[in-house]
Chain A
């Protein structure tokens, strides 16, 4: 069986807030019985303060789906809707002391149900843009849909390309056969043939000449912008974007938006951006989410 953390087991065996909230004024429903996971989240929201007073869940799903739903209701109770919207699936997974990669989608389902419920409260329409495929790379929790999209968007041709753009295949390498199968399929759709010996598509950053001499702050900012620009296409293929907010010394503050914001890949994406920046700039660069800027800048200034 799965190696579930004690926290997952705790929430599974003694779920909190199970059942529908009686006088709920917000409902979010995601998943479906055909994929074996479905969640209905009901909230009672205070109309003046927009504070979530009560939250209840009904879940059809496995142990981690039930645990994710339970922990989600605990996290959001007492939050305002705006605060709740900032809850990421990683927050849910963290509260559960981690989930196996195959089960990360359970936490994604929790976040989506929350978004759907808030949209329902506000009278907006919530559209799910998130499609899920079979899990290909267990080391980095990357599914077939994501790899296929990246292969299409960036004209990838080899396993190495896929690893450079998605990280899939960059760990134990056991998924390389499956990645080759995806390449074969997509390339065939494009009328090309998969050739394992093909020259790799250059990494986006390699188009930018590496810097040798020490940089002035203005040069540094320009260079960082340039690198981020080059990464944007792959981020956007994933439904996200990145914006440079401020540079203080060797620290770059960025805003991750769209699917990247809070997606399970956000932390990894930030690490990836930092890695590429350092490769190009030839100096240490720290990439920090802009949400942490205020306190950090104050310290710098002080």
Chain B
């Protein structure tokens, strides 16, 4: 069997139909969209169509609310920096502890510049407490930024409700929906969400293309000033081929959204069940009842994630881990720490994320491979002995080390 790709929350394969619509924009319609000649006369139409395809997927009212950017990270930075530039007197930002670094690191940087950052905590299942959030909303808050779905656990946050609460308090609301768009249905025009970020490479479009949705009337300051592109809201010659590709990818995502929430979900559920039934001392992290249909994050106790990934890779299976070692830091993922997952498990979390390209046969192969991999590593672990963890692992192995 060919290698199995279960790392779709990291990035996805570009759909061949997407590649097909992009090629003419490299070879024929390569003119600058602003030019008046036949190398460019189809580009404006292509961009317009792409805008409408994105609009349809996220359900916003106007296609002019779509601003094409270079990636999810740029959309996130633009949203937050715009809000604070447009409202210079407001010096507070509300976000969560489990955001992607694209939000968290920007906020830490703004903190040094004198902003107060409120990071909402989560419980052991990764859920937010809305009463704490309600108390923080005030006229001092420039923007609330809460992810629609978490990239590691797939946990979905109640952004529509939180946007209503922000709106009632007169506060702007942004959501990093990079993991949610294309996986769960959305209708932005029925919400009070002011800004939303999405990224092409998470939904079978190329890397390096993103969108900032900006509700009409939301006060805005561009990140990049220069040419008149995107109505002056994001200067720089349009990445026409990628924009057209993203449009096509959004059209396909809309077509497949039911498939994603039935067939893809069934594959995820079978994998999760197969693994947790067979392997002792492992558990699913995050909010099991409120998750993206394609994601499962499983913690394997007493072993370390990078080692699991290397053995999976050898078996032709691609996944990812929240372990410290895969990132080069000493702490396991901030999401696992935020949920208070014990260290004995946090270092051994593996995320499997599906797409419509996966099959049940692949699921069966992974379910077959996992027990052996876990057993091999547990045999090496000082915290494991025979077929169970050593009694009191933290005490039994208490080395002279800080």
Contact = CB atoms under 8 A, between A and B. Distances in A.
Interface stretch (A29-37, A164-172, A292-300): A29-37
Given A18-B379, A60-B383, A128 B400 contact: yes
A19 B306 CA distance: 20
A285 interface: no
B382 A39 contact: yes
Contact of A59 (B328, B347, B382): B382
Nearest to B324: A36
| Contact size range, B | 35 or more
Contact of A33 (B306, B330, B380, B383): B383
Contact of B303 (A18, A34, A60): A60
Interface of A is mostly: mixed
Interface stretch (A61-69, A230-238, A248-256, A268-276): A61-69
A33 B393 contact: yes
Interface in B299-321: 302-307, 309-311, 313-314
A50 interface: no
Given A29-B400, A33-B347, A36-B324, A59 B329 contact: no
B401 A63 contact: no
Interface in A91-140: 100, 102-103, 112, 116, 126-128, 131-132, 134-135
A59 B400 contact: no
B326 to A, nearest CB: 8
Contact of B381 (A36, A60, A131, A135): A60
B328 A135 contact: yes
A60 B382 contact: yes
A61 B400 contact: no
B344 interface: yes
Given A36-B323, A39-B382, A60-B302, A31 B399 contact: yes
Contacts of B347: 33, 36, 60
Interface residues of A, number: 40
Contacts of B393: 33
* B303, B304, B328 — most chain A CB neighbours (10 Å): B304
A36 B328 CA distance: 11
A1 B320 CA distance: 10
Given A29-B397, A31-B399, A61-B304, A102 B328 contact: yes
Contact of A29 (B325, B399, B402): B399
Contacts of B305: 62
Contacts of B400: 29-30, 116, 126-128
Contacts of B61: none
A35 B324 contact: yes
A160 to B, nearest CB: 22
B332 interface: yes
Interface string A3-42: 0000001001101001100000000011111111111100
A127 B399 CA distance: 10
B304 A40 contact: no
B258 interface: no
A58 interface: yes
B343 interface: yes
Interface string B327-370: 01110100000000001100100000000000000000000000
A65 B307 CA distance: 9
* A62, A100, A103, A135 — most chain B CB neighbours (10 Å): A62
B330 A132 contact: yes
Contact of B304 (A1, A60, A112, A135): A60
B20 interface: no
* A66, A116, A132 — most chain B CB neighbours (10 Å): A66
Contact of A63 (B302, B306, B383): B306
A13 B377 CA distance: 10
B18 to A, nearest CB: 26
* A1, A32, A34, A58 — most chain B CB neighbours (10 Å): A34
B383 to A, nearest CB: 6
Given A33-B343, A33-B393, A58 B306 contact: no
B365 to A, nearest CB: 19
* B330, B398, B399 — most chain A CB neighbours (10 Å): B399
B3 interface: no
B307 A63 contact: yes
B325 to A, nearest CB: 4
A50 B355 CA distance: 59
Interface of B: 302-307, 309-311, 313-314, 323-326, 328-330, 332, 343-344, 347, 379-383, 393-394, 397-402
User: Which A-B residue pairs are the 10 nearest by beta carbons?
Assistant: A62-B325, A29-B399, A102-B328, A62-B306, A58-B382, A40-B382, A36-B324, A36-B347, A34-B343, A63-B310
25 contacts: A9-B310, A13-B311, A13-B314, A15-B380, A18-B380, A31-B399, A31-B401, A35-B324, A36-B304, A36-B324, A36-B347, A39-B382, A57-B380, A58-B381, A60-B303, A60-B347, A60-B383, A62-B305, A62-B323, A62-B326, A63-B307, A65-B304, A100-B328, A126-B400, A131-B402
Given A59-B382, A60-B380, 13 more contacts: A1-B309, A1-B310, A1-B326, A18-B380, A29-B398, A31-B399, A32-B399, A33-B397, A38-B383, A40-B382, A60-B304, A65-B304, A116-B400
